[in-house]
Amino acid sequence: MRVQIQVYPKTPTDLVSSFPDFDGSDNFAANAQSRKADQMISIRIIILIILFSCLAGVGSAGNFLSVQDITMYLNEGNATFHLNYTLDTFTNIYVLVLGSGYIQPDLVSMFANFKDVKIKSVDHRSATILAVKAGKYNGSHYFFTSRPLEIADKIPQTKIGKFRVIYPNEFNQIFYNISCTPDVLCKATNQLL
């Protein structure tokens, strides 16, 4: 039978030296707080790395945004587009928590063929985008030429299930399964007589 005997420190300095964070001064509490702060920073960095790697995966897949329908409102030479869409689960949570900044470039890229595009509003289900001077004025009418709708290099030839055009007199046309805005001729409402 073997018996192990543990020897306790014989002097107070031996006891102090047995604690790795205690250097003989009053820094014991400061060292413990510093170590805890370092652990929190490490955890935050790991979370950020996981978050950004997931975002990179979502962006490369290109299927995070699915446009359900678009309504195009005509007002003189301007066109206002209201989009209804669905987001994949991760992107939806990201937009709800951190805002719509992640999806705004893809929404604007759908209208890259228009010269002056401004985002009016964006949330996790819809967006309103203004294309300034999208129509060409010919003296009595504005002509809006057909332009492709695609999320740049991510979802080429995007098919929009339902595309509605609403004219200033509230007459509307509906187009189904299209990948371009339709050619539209709209009478100018503010003509000089």
Total number of residues shown for the chain: 193
pLDDT at 191: 52
| Tokens standing for residue 165 | 């055009």
User: Which residue, 157, 158, 136, is CA-closest to 145?
Assistant: 136
Q: Give the tens place of pLDDT for each residue, 25-62.
A: 556 566 777 788 888 888 888 777 776 666 555 444 35
Beta bridge partners of 73: 80, 166
Q: Give the tens place of pLDDT for each residue, 113-132.
A: 898 999 999 998 999 999 99
* pTM of the predicted protein model: 0.65
User: Which residue, 153, 105, 97, 150, is CA-closest to 127?
Assistant: 105
Helix or strand holding residue 37 (H, E): helix 28-61
User: Which residue, 52, 193, 75, is CA-closest to 130?
Assistant: 75
Q: Give the tens place of pLDDT for each residue, 132-187.
A: 999 999 888 999 999 988 765 555 456 888 999 999 888 899 999 998 999 999 88
pLDDT at 47: 78
